Structures are given as structure tokens and as C-alpha cells.
Structure 1
């Protein structure tokens, strides 16, 4: 596909599967079986892109670099029209081959291939600071920050203050990892334990809210179709997408449903499974829909009372003012880049977009008259990205 000195850029074939799984121990997880399941789910079972689009750097016959594209399907406009697209992801270079220009060459080969296939744009839905800086230098544009906010229980805030104080105190620094706060945080790990203490499949809160481990994909899709749509760019959330999306083997999900005669709202919590994830105790609100503000507020309050979360996060950039006020009222606050949460530094993920063709001016980057580099023309939820 493309040659640079000592390296060859090629497209993925099933024969490379074992090597890709091994290479991704640097990024996905140290468990080859979990990596295999993730590769199969994300790429071999993706409902919008077949066969998989994965670009590999070979050194001799060895896979030493990778950048994948996963398929997406936006809807936008009134009446809504759908547009298929791709998001670059899974970037990893083996340690002995970094700083040799492989990233640029992999992406150059990928863009050449994507243009031949008729794609117009690529999207990065959770770019952190390092990815953002490198991408902007390659012609990407930022539509803006996802404006993450987080909520901590009072107990979690107290333990974080204690640990921070111990880490800054010379005499106590060596004992920081032995403090009770560390062990309390570690006990917050399994989100599914909140479903039912006796191990049942569901749990009820009050008379309306049911907590379950499984996605009711059909009912969730039907609810989305009932709620008024303003035409902003968002991912299609039909039964096919939701059924696939919540099978991500690197994540654990918990679903809160508000049920009357029909499903009137849902809130989805997510947690990381991999041993090398940023934080296994961080919990994200990745999707949240309701037919009324009363239902929306009830789901949120039920979620934060499930347990004293160490770190509960949500993206707020495209939420309405009423919903932002609700988050503020229950104690959510903006995340500052570099701020510690659940023991790790937090980032400000951004939405990045890029035209495949270099000769298309930024002013023309649009879908159905919605400007791609303008965050106000988007309805973004964490579930659209692989961070959720």
C-alpha cells in the first residue's frame, strides 16, 4: 500500500489478527483474550463498516504500528438524513519504533485510501491534549471542548483531600498508599454489584425506576424516536446500533430505566474494565434521555444515590441550559485539565474534524447545512466515542 524506509504500510487482513491483538497490549489491555473480543466486536461486528479498515505498519513481517477506523452513522437536518463516516482510533506504535514518522505515514496512507472510498470527513470524538496538538498540525480543526463535569460524594472528596495532604507531607508521603482512602476507592470497582445485592438481574428504586445490567435496545430506540429532534448532528440510535454499542467488552454498563406505561427515560452508567485503563473506578454517564425534565431529574438523582461515587463524569458541551442547571444543582462541577479525579489527572477531550481532501476550505465543512467545526451544531454524547 505504501513504503517508507524499512517499513511498509498495509491494510489489515485476518492473518494479522494475532499480531494486532499482541500489539494492542500497549493500549487496550494486557489480556489477549479480552483484546481479541474487543477487536471482533469493534471491527468485525461493526454495523456500519465492513470489512474492517485497519492500517498497519510492518517492519519486515512484524506488525509494529496501527491506526484503525471504526464506522459511524450520523443523522442531521429536518427531516433527518443519515450519513456514514469513520473515526480514527486505536493508535499504537511499538516502543522500539516510535519517533520515526510512522504516525504521519500511516495517516497519509489512510487518507489516500479513504478518499478513494468516497469518504468526505473524519472525526475524533475524544481527543486529549497530546492527540489534539498532533492532529491540529495535520490539518484537523477543533469544534470545541466536550466540557466534562464531574461529581464526587462527600466521602470521596474527604478521602481525596486526605491523600493529597499525605502526598505533600514529607513524613506521610511513604504511607500515602496505605491510607484507608486507597482501599475505599478500590472497593468501588464493580458497577454491576449495584444492580442487586442478592445478584438478581434487576433492582427497583421507588415505583418507577428499574436498574438493570442489560440494554433494552428496542425500547430505548423507540423512546429516542418519540422525543422531538432539533436537527443537530448526532449518531443514529436505533435498535441495531444500541444492541451493538453496549456489547463493548472493555466496558461495563448499568442502565437506569424510568418506566410508566412505556419507557419514559433512561440513564446509562459506564465503567472501564481493562487493567491499563485511565481509571477503573471512574464512572461515566454516557447517555441520558427523558420525555420530561421531571423524569430526567429523577434518573440523575437515583444514579448519584446508588453509591458514594469516587468520580462520576459527564460531557456537557451540547446539553441544554435546563439540564446544565440540574447538574449544577446536584453538585456537578467543571473538570479542569490536569485536575485529579479518582487518582488520575483528567483531560479536556475535544471534538476534532478534518476534510479528507486538503483542497476543501474549512468554511465548506458541513453536513446538511450544519457546520462541522462548530460545537453548537452537534448533539454529542460520550456513548458515540470509544471513551464511553
Structure 2
């Protein structure tokens, strides 16, 4: 479609090098790395039949890109599944900003994919600049992202030193290997993680929760823009629990993004090991309808259960989760997926692994 001097088109593989070049303004300056990241996120996603994205062309060159991250969710009961889209990686060349490309590309996504198998948008990585635009286009906030965290003594002391003499104590490499019942690895054990998820008790089967299977675990952690550390709890010769952390480059912050257990207290034992070995100065986790097992573990390990939604080290600040039906003109019925009202945050189980930015 034409939009002034621009042409808005669906993504095609031939445009990937130009998109990777454009995304230097958002991702990295390394174009081959950007290409690899794009292919992982949009072309290799096991739940996406096709990449969901549009581009803005100016005189034949890509000057804008709007993508959507496809995720599969269980909706309402264990048998029902649905595909959701997360708006992601919006980037407009600096010379072409403030010309309405954000809005027109997003509207093009709605028009192009609104009648397909996707049911709704869920925005988990919006920022303060993009949120007003989404609200104008019909998204609604259902909750603020909040965090709970645990600071080590070293983190507290470092904060004091940084303020007074601008010196940081943050250090400490992660040691990989087997340490008794705990294994620390750079690699996901997809088969074991899948097995644990299938064995887990689902405390509530009438809400929205991320669908995770073997294909998911084999694919999800190939993201070359993030550093993951995998912790496994071994019992009777088998893995019976895992915790996945997204680590900052210097291991200052460990974000608990995914976890599971098929034996009692496996998650707590893993986190206790992490804390005892002082591998991170700050541990944090999204606090959005946390399950009983992880909540119990966090309390026992003296995590600060207060809301850290404000901007603090290790958090992103108080930003909302945004929801919208995919239909261009939506009705009341479109807010329901398999009889689940997606406007009610109590119906969602959301961990950081659900976010495209994780």
C-alpha cells in the first residue's frame, strides 16, 4: 500500500539484509549478528507458520520495520491453544521519523493478519515512547509489570561505594559444572525441561499460560542477544527441576525467567545454591501471578516481596502490559479466548520468558 512517499509491504526474505542494517539503530552494529538474530526470532520460530512483519520502503530502500513475535498459549484448559502476537523491534531510520510510520506499519499488521489464526496482541516489551501510540490504537493496560528481588550484601555495599567513591564491587564469574545435586550449564536440556513441564501440576486450568514443549525448549534459548545460565537439580539419576536465568554481561544481575520442578522444593534448592555461591549480586523475577511453589521458595530465601516496579537496578521501571484483540474493528466477544477474559490479569500466568525481549 502507498503511504505518502512510502510503500508499506509485507516482509519478504530478500529484505533481511536491509532490515538487519536498519536494526543497527536498535540491536547491534554487527549486521551478520543481526541477520542471525532476525532469522532465529522470525524465521525459525516453531510456532510461526510464516514471519509476521511489514516494512516501509522509500525509493526502494527499507527505512522502517515492524515485526511481531509469535507465541503459543494454553487458553482455558489443557487442550485448547491459541497464537498471540507481540509487537516487537519497531525501527524507523532517523531520517524518516515523526512521519507516522510507527502507526501505519502497526495498522498494516492488523489489516494483514487480523483475519488469520492469531487472536490477540500481548505487549510485554513496550517502552515509554511507544506506549501512547498503542493506547491510541486500541490497546488497553491490564497491569503494570512488577518485580520482586533479592540483593546480596555485596550489592548493598557496592551501592554505597558507587555513590560515595564511584567504585563498584560487582564481580564474580559463574562456574559451570556439576556440584553435588546441582548442575550449572550454558546449554538447555530440552528433553529434560520438556519432561518436567509435562509432569508439573497445573494449579489452575482456566487461564492463559505459555505453551512450552520440546520444540520450544530447543529453539527458545538460541537468542544471540542474551546470555542464559541453566541450573538443574538432579535426583535419583534424573533432572527433576530447573531454573533458567538471564544474566547481565558481568553477572551483576540474574533474572529468573523460567523454572519448573517435578519433585518437591527443587526450585528452592537451586536458588539456595545460587545465593550461597554468590554468583549474582541481584536476583529478580517478574511478579505476575506467581505460582505457589516459586512464591514459597522466594519467601523462604528472603526475597523482598515488595513491588519493585519503580526504576531500580535490575528492573525496567513501571511499565504496563498491553492487550488488544487482533481484529481491526473488535467487539466485546473478541476480548475472550476460549471463554477466558484476557482483560483480567488474574487470568494470566506470565513469566519473563513470555517476552520477546527476553
Quick check: TM above 0.5? yes
TM-score where L is the length of structure 1: 0.84
Task: Specify the alignment match of 1:269 in structure 2.
Answer: 245
Give, in whole Å, the separation in 1 of the partners of 2:94 and 2:235: 54
1:341 to 313, 325, 338: 313
Task: Specify the alignment match of 2:184 in structure 1.
Answer: 211
Deviation at 1:272, TM superposition (A): 5.1
> What SS is found at the alignment partner of 2:142?
strand
Task: Specify the alignment match of 1:169 in structure 2.
Answer: none
Structure 1 position 354 matched with structure 2 position 353: no
In 2, are the aligned partners of 1:335 and 1:346 still within 8 Å (CA)?
Answer: no
Alpha carbons of structure 1 residues 13 and 250: separation in structure 2 relative to 1, 3 Å: same
Alpha carbons of structure 1 residues 123 and 303: separation in structure 2 relative to 1, 3 Å: same
1:291-330 equivalences under 5 Å are 291-320=262-291, 323-330=294-301
Give, in whole Å, the separation in 2 of the partners of 1:132 and 1:336: 20
Task: Specify the alignment match of 2:216 in structure 1.
Answer: 241
In 2, are the aligned partners of 1:250 and 1:272 still within 8 Å (CA)?
Answer: no
Deviation at 1:308, TM superposition (A): 4.8
Runs of 4+ that moved beyond 4 A: none
Deviation at 1:322, TM superposition (A): 5.8
Tell me the number of residue pairs that the alignment of Structure 1 and Structure 2 aligns: 354
> What SS is found at the alignment partner of 1:129?
coil
Structure 1 portions without partners, runs of 5+: 167-175, 197-201, 274-278
Structure 1 position 221 matched with structure 2 position 194: yes
Alpha carbons of structure 1 residues 79 and 287: separation in structure 2 relative to 1, 3 Å: closer
Deviation at 1:346, TM superposition (A): 3.1
> What SS is found at the alignment partner of 1:49?
coil
> What SS is found at the alignment partner of 1:40?
helix
In 2, are the aligned partners of 1:316 and 1:324 still within 8 Å (CA)?
Answer: no
> What SS is found at the alignment partner of 1:46?
coil
Q: Which deviates more from structure 2 when the two are superposed, residues 284-293 or residues 5-14?
A: 284-293
In 2, are the aligned partners of 1:87 and 1:124 still within 8 Å (CA)?
Answer: yes
Task: Specify the alignment match of 1:77 in structure 2.
Answer: 76
Task: Specify the alignment match of 1:101 in structure 2.
Answer: 100
The Cα RMSD (Å) is 2.3
Give, in whole Å, the separation in 1 of the partners of 2:185 and 2:117: 41
Alpha carbons of structure 1 residues 118 and 287: separation in structure 2 relative to 1, 3 Å: closer
Give, in whole Å, the separation in 2 of the partners of 1:224 and 1:88: 27
> What SS is found at the alignment partner of 1:383?
helix
Q: Which deviates more from structure 2 when the two are superposed, residues 102-111 or residues 255-264?
A: 255-264
2:341 to 371, 377, 380: 371
Task: Specify the alignment match of 1:171 in structure 2.
Answer: none
Deviation at 1:335, TM superposition (A): 5.4
Deviation at 1:228, TM superposition (A): 1.5
1:62-73 equivalences under 5 Å are 62-73=61-72
> What SS is found at the alignment partner of 1:91?
strand
Deviation at 1:319, TM superposition (A): 0.5
1:33-182 equivalences under 5 Å are 33-166=32-165, 176=166, 179=167, 181=168
Deviation at 1:66, TM superposition (A): 1.0
Alpha carbons of structure 1 residues 288 and 149: separation in structure 2 relative to 1, 3 Å: same
Deviation at 1:71, TM superposition (A): 1.7
1:192-207 equivalences under 5 Å are 193-196=173-176, 202-204=177-179, 207=180
Task: Specify the alignment match of 1:252 in structure 2.
Answer: 227
Structure 2 portions without partners, runs of 5+: none
1:375-386 equivalences under 5 Å are 375-386=345-356
Deviation at 1:337, TM superposition (A): 4.6
Deviation at 1:264, TM superposition (A): 1.7
Deviation at 1:48, TM superposition (A): 1.4
In 2, are the aligned partners of 1:23 and 1:94 still within 8 Å (CA)?
Answer: yes
> What SS is found at the alignment partner of 2:103?
helix
